[in-house]
Structure 1
């Protein structure tokens, strides 16, 4: 598959996953008085009781970014009179439809959800979830955090602008000539964190103890906030799940050139802001990329994630960073379901197209991943993609972070994790996003075996313990630069591993990085630029 095909596969896969995940636990409106009415800075809200939780859904944290506010930094939400019903989530941000969902054309979508343990309010650790989906799909409410909340934390999930509406950069959209454009979705996430700082104490959370966590594009968002000057002071800890796929972001000039091509494609030949802001949402969705990545706009991001972390130019907070052992199997499986098979005959060609390297380099890489070492060609390509795009970038992150802050690495390693896609010719293993069903209740995957449920319980306790104290609980080994000591999340009980870098051939990938620069910066972006 060509690089564009990779992007398309990533987008299709993550759209499918994002749209079939279950929402927060359904609950009938509770009798008046059974759920506290909370006074936020915007007005009063009343949620619902659901099991052992109180849920406050669909709370606006910013003004609807419509009309003249399209492609502008988020503005404060208007206050409301009376008691606002907070029993249903707000609309998902505009995103394409797919075989598993109807999509959305809503621009009025900047809402968040607060799920708290029932009982008297107290200062509990706060965890703010940033969903994945290639920065083109997904919504906060599709992840049910009830079991995570059962570990004594408050979980906030947020919507943010997606696709072209969230990440289009164009010189006509700059507030001043040469000013920054793009990264509106990251600004939305920052606005949501600002709302948390002002309001979460009223829900029983502790505004001085906030952990941001996210998976895939949500993990990349967490990394972006670690290095963003405008995110400083908005959080106290960070968890990155499979977010290491793109350590280099495009320049503002490159992003704006891409935006000008987008504008021309939509019919805005005059390249004006008025034309762009007047386009129907359906037109924007029809012409946007399958996947986006933040750009170095000069305000939200002043340099790429990888170099900023390596130089110590980031928020000095404790970090958990991890990947899944078989990340790329999800994407190879999705391609197979679409009739695109990896065979012995096309293996080298697949490598060339996947990584954007010439055939001789692809052949050299294939020699490191010989078909004879794997049960099937799809599993060989899956291992290669996992190592080149996720695993070895994660080692780079761990080495950089651990020089400055307490860092805890993990590898989700359940080879029998329930598959997130229909069966294919090979086992999906611990594929991309497979760990989500161990933290949240989802409509896909599962059920978990007793041993897997024990692992899920341990993971949720560890995530909540990290949010509480800044160290995972049960205790993990702290990562030290060069040691590659990680926690292998295997059922029923995680174990310490030291062979991660060797297992994923990171010494090899480090040697050929110049030859595969396109792969490490474009293909991972596939999970975020023009799905995860």
Structure 2
């Protein structure tokens, strides 16, 4: 999910934190106390690999080898808080990497605990892979969670790795610790500050280049993959000059929702407000680095949107970089789900222009147009135009009508715009995930089932920490097998089309998109029309943003 934006009142902020706490409590009760999690498995055989910092001991776990909690950078604590990631220290002897590391600090629970010392990654490889065999393609997955919550341990990569890839999941600094911009934190006066979480991701990618061969992976065939905030992270790495050469292909899942980034000046102005709220009236780096962690989490503002143009990690907004060809030119696989906003609408939230806000109240026939107006910040006349494009007579309820239009505006249309821009420069493959009977693993589907935000994740990974149980049907398992195979083939070749699968490149003339459906997917050319994309693009061109 995307970063929550500040609202104008303390009650609204309290409601946002209540929603987070409620979701966290559900996750804790369902995922952490589940009988399955208490099952005792046979002790796996030991496994040893030597990295550039020292020897590690992992798990031989059935069909895969797992290494959990390998440090890729020094702990960003003390004087390293709000600094670029530094190299991990070498160690002697053998380091145990058989348990997941603590999660980066966040306002959500984790079975693995929480610590500022959190720059670790996890490696899953097929049991047959080794440094002596033919190297396998690598998929580095960057988790979502609005740059505020989440961890690599949420994603069990066993089935994805079994398709013939080495899979790496990464933890990176979140929230204020990952994305606070403040003039006092710049390494030189007037220099760039912030985007530490994006720098962490690059440090992890450098670790992959230096070490993945020892785990059976090929550093010349690395795909970065991310979902939601992780997908936006992938776009940022595509646009970042300092990420050049660290990957050879890119996968963006539901990540095109925020193609425009704010300026460093705006981010630093927000940062000075944060410093004052934390009690640092002198606006000094020393004061900020000594603020207790609990105080940081209590005062985490909802107005910081990560990925600003700092002049170093990012020199321009991501869509502008891609549209002009000023990006790391690698094959791109990009897509969105049928109705991304359904899960947010059910929570009384909306993701618009990369920020999440609370809806003003229940969406009824009477409030439909006013909700549209407040959501997009448009006039009543423009809201009426939008409502006419999505007439209530075409939907079972006003909430479903609003969910559909909000999804089209904020996810599907930006994804197609990204496809069009990227296809002018690199091989681009587009998908629309349309399994509308996908199990809902995160929020009970009060408005009915659909392929919403995060629905596709269970087709790539097992989700051991998901709040709700769920299993795939035989047809859905077939679709999951298709998707995993496509991701691995894309990492290996830059083309996701496997044997027997037709998946043409996207181009601005034919708009060919693969619609993921169970059991068999198909190529469509009308996805833009299904999501009213021409309407939204024309509206964007005429309405101030």
TM, length-normalised to structure 1: 0.91
Aligned position for 1:55: 66
Aligned position for 2:455: 434
Q: Does 1:309 align with 2:322?
A: yes
Structure 1 residues 342 and 451: alpha-carbon distance in aligned structure 2, compared to 1, 3 A threshold = same
Q: Does 1:80 align with 2:91?
A: yes
| Aligned 8 A contact 2:528 2:534 in 1 | yes
Shift of 1:420: 2.8
Q: Does 1:355 align with 2:351?
A: no
Partners of 1:295 and 1:382 in 2: how far apart? 28
Q: How far does the alpha carbon of each residue in 1:481-524 deviate from its partner, in whole angstroms, 9 at most, with x for none?
A: 24221000010000111111111111111111145554xxxxxx
Q: Does 1:218 align with 2:235?
A: no
Structure 1 residues 6 and 303: alpha-carbon distance in aligned structure 2, compared to 1, 3 A threshold = farther
Which structure has more relative contact order (CA 8 Å, sep 6+)? It is 1
Aligned position for 1:263: 275
Partners of 1:7 and 1:236 in 2: how far apart? 43
Partners of 1:305 and 1:240 in 2: how far apart? 13
SS at match of 1:409: strand
Partners of 1:271 and 1:218 in 2: how far apart? 31
Structure 1 residues 54 and 280: alpha-carbon distance in aligned structure 2, compared to 1, 3 A threshold = same
Aligned position for 2:124: 115
Q: How far does the alpha carbon of each residue in 1:295-317 deviate from its partner, in whole angstroms, 9 at most, with x for none?
A: 10000000000111100011111
Partners of 2:305 and 2:152 in 1: how far apart? 18
SS at match of 1:47: strand
Partners of 1:50 and 1:311 in 2: how far apart? 46
Structure 1 residues 151 and 207: alpha-carbon distance in aligned structure 2, compared to 1, 3 A threshold = same
Shift of 1:283: 1.1
Moved more, 276-285 or 442-451: 442-451
| Aligned 8 A contact 1:125 1:153 in 2 | yes
Partners of 1:465 and 1:110 in 2: how far apart? 29
Partners of 1:52 and 1:263 in 2: how far apart? 49
Q: Does 1:274 align with 2:283?
A: no
Q: Does 1:467 align with 2:494?
A: no
Aligned position for 1:128: 140
SS at match of 1:38: strand
Shift of 1:104: 5.8
2:535 is matched with which residue: 505, 508, 524? 508
Partners of 1:70 and 1:480 in 2: how far apart? 44
1:400 is matched with which residue: 417, 421, 424? 421
Count of residues paired in the alignment: 514
Partners of 1:294 and 1:15 in 2: how far apart? 28
| Aligned 8 A contact 1:485 1:496 in 2 | yes
| Aligned 8 A contact 2:102 2:114 in 1 | no
Partners of 2:42 and 2:278 in 1: how far apart? 44
Segments of 5+ residues of structure 1 without an aligned counterpart are 519-532
Partners of 1:44 and 1:312 in 2: how far apart? 41
Structure 1 residues 417 and 13: alpha-carbon distance in aligned structure 2, compared to 1, 3 A threshold = farther
TM, length-normalised to structure 2: 0.89
Partners of 1:211 and 1:400 in 2: how far apart? 20
| Aligned 8 A contact 2:72 2:204 in 1 | yes
- Aligned CA RMSD, in angstroms, stands at 2.7
Within 5 Å, give how 1:144-183 maps onto structure 2: 144-183=156-195
Partners of 2:188 and 2:66 in 1: how far apart? 41
| Aligned 8 A contact 1:136 1:292 in 2 | no
Q: Does 1:202 align with 2:214?
A: yes
1:423 is matched with which residue: 426, 444, 454? 444
Aligned position for 1:143: 155
Q: Does 1:233 align with 2:237?
A: no
SS at match of 1:210: strand
Structure 1 residues 481 and 66: alpha-carbon distance in aligned structure 2, compared to 1, 3 A threshold = same
| Aligned 8 A contact 1:127 1:212 in 2 | yes
Q: Does 1:496 align with 2:523?
A: yes
Structure 1 residues 478 and 287: alpha-carbon distance in aligned structure 2, compared to 1, 3 A threshold = same
Shift of 1:428: 3.3
Aligned position for 2:313: 300
Structure 1 residues 148 and 390: alpha-carbon distance in aligned structure 2, compared to 1, 3 A threshold = same
Segments of 5+ residues of structure 2 without an aligned counterpart are 350-357
SS at match of 1:151: coil
Aligned position for 2:50: 39
Q: How far does the alpha carbon of each residue in 1:106-126 deviate from its partner, in whole angstroms, 9 at most, with x for none?
A: 110000000010024130101
| Aligned 8 A contact 2:180 2:271 in 1 | yes
Partners of 1:288 and 1:409 in 2: how far apart? 36
Structure 1 residues 201 and 424: alpha-carbon distance in aligned structure 2, compared to 1, 3 A threshold = closer
Moved more, 255-264 or 354-363: 354-363
| Aligned 8 A contact 2:343 2:443 in 1 | no
Shift of 1:360: 2.6
| Aligned 8 A contact 1:27 1:50 in 2 | no
